[in-house]
């Protein structure tokens, strides 16, 4: 899987690839190269090899969906905390 190639599975490129695999498990001809950013473009063939002929089971899709939703929620909380700090900090 892609986690064996990239250092940050939740980074933009790998998250986009994984989200596509979750939302379209029947799509076996993914144009993953268009989803790669920055330094991952140099790993194009390794990434292609890591996802080639790889289909996700229903259990994997379910678990990964929960993980990505949890990650998104954490980021929302961080943004809310940043906003709150920006409002409360100026008097100090």
pLDDT digits (tens, 9 = 90+) for 38-78: 888 888 888 888 888 777 888 988 999 999 999 999 999 99
User: 81: pLDDT confidence band, cut at 50, 70 and 90?
Assistant: very high
Question: Could you tell me the residue ranges of all domains in the chain?
Answer: 2-88
Q: Is the dihedral of CA 58, 64, 68, 74 positive or negative?
A: positive
Predicted model pTM: 0.72
Residue 82 has what pLDDT? 97
């Amino acid at each position: 899987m892609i986690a064996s190639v990239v250092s940050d599975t939740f980074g933009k490129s790998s998250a986009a690839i994984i989200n596509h695999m979750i939302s379209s498990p029947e799509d076996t001809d993914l144009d993953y190269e268009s989803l790669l950013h920055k330094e991952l473009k140099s790993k194009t063939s390794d990434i292609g090899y890591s996802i080639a002929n790889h289909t996700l089971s229903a259990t994997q899709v379910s678990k990964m969906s929960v993980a990505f939703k949890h990650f998104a929620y954490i980021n929302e909380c961080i943004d809310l905390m940043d906003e709150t700090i920006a409002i409360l900090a100026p008097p100090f």
